[in-house]
Amino acid sequence: MALFQVKVLDWGQEGQETKHREAFEKEVAVWQKLDHPNVTRFVGASMGTSQLKLPGSKGSSGPGQRCCVVVVEYQHGGTLKTFLYNHRDKKLPYKKVVQIALDIARGLCYLHSKKIVHRDVKAENMLLNKKKSTVRIADFGVARVEAQDNENNMTGQTGTLGYMAPEVLEGRPYDHKCDVYSFGVLLWETFCCNMAYPNYSIADIAYHVVKLGIRPDIPRCCPRTLSEIMARCWDGKPDNRPEMAEVVALLEKIDTNKGKGMTPAIPDNTAQGCSCFGFAK
């Protein structure tokens, strides 16, 4: 029996429904044509929820007409975030790291070829199949289709703290290169099985990432080919970041037989996990 995941999205402030509906209709027209092994299958969408039996708070019939519903294919393997957390001590084999990175990179490359900017690339939005052999990009709740006449048509702090590119954190116009930045952070997390910026405020991250240009510390044991991809992807200048097609090509060239996982066995009296930079409080 096929299972599906349903996500309810709010249109936002009253009076904005018409504008948001028009944009949503255009985006759904693109989403429903997506067909890629590393992108969750889009099943359908509803422009309102009044006819749907959705759970609501007591005394409420549900979200109402100011919401829309997106239905996508369900993935049985859980999120990449949970998968990485479960390997936080043992870490992942290098071959698995590259395989996960390739799956995500190929999915993003495909989305960008369709002019779709995901805008919330993070471990929690990457889903694994039942055998945990394939990663698929999910959650198009904040995704946008780039305007054909003006790619830099998006502004605002959209996404998740820690994965946001400097231009997004500053509220400047941005394009699909914000996904490339997020991929760089996600690649680091996949190799380290750790979070890049745990427990820090948006002010801390904005200052250190935007003003000081600081990024997570890349472990010495990380193969140069992989560390160079990380560094290029999270470059502070969007124009310096590679296209995802180039990232795919670089990852495909990696000889996984020459690289090792994050760490060998660690003595019991040694702190485990790779290091990420800390902020002075």
**CATH number of 24's domain:** 3.30.200
**Which domain range does residue 242 map to?**
80-252
**CATH number of 162's domain:** 1.10.510.10
Output the six-digit token pair for 42. Answer: 């889009």
What's the rounded Cα separation, in Å, for the pair 184 and 166?
Answer: 13
> How do beta strands 126-128 and 116-117 pair?
unpaired
Q: Do 239 and 112 belong to one domain? A: yes
Domain membership of residue 115 (yes or no) is yes
The answer to whether residue 26 scores a pLDDT higher than 50 is yes
pLDDT at residue 161, as a whole number = 84
CA 197 from centre of chain: 15
pLDDT, tens digit (0-9, with 9 covering 90-100), for 29-52: 777 788 999 998 877 777 665 555
pLDDT, tens digit (0-9, with 9 covering 90-100), for 146-204: 654 355 556 566 778 889 999 998 889 999 999 999 999 999 999 999 999 887 787 88
Mean pLDDT of the chain: 79
Count Cβ atoms within 10 A of the Cβ of residue 272 and give its class: 0-12 exposed, 13-18 middle, 19 or more buried.
Answer: middle
pLDDT, tens digit (0-9, with 9 covering 90-100), for 92-148: 999 999 999 999 999 999 999 998 899 899 999 999 998 899 999 987 656 666 654
Output the six-digit token pair for 54. Answer: 């959705």
pLDDT at residue 16, as a whole number = 57
Rg (CA), the chain: 20
Last residue of a domain, one of 48, 73, 98: 73
What's the rounded Cα separation, in Å, for the pair 251 and 137?
Answer: 18
What's the rounded Cα separation, in Å, for the pair 193 and 81?
Answer: 9
Residues involved in catalysis: 120
User: Which of these, 202, 185, 203, lies nearest to 194 by C-alpha position?
Assistant: 185
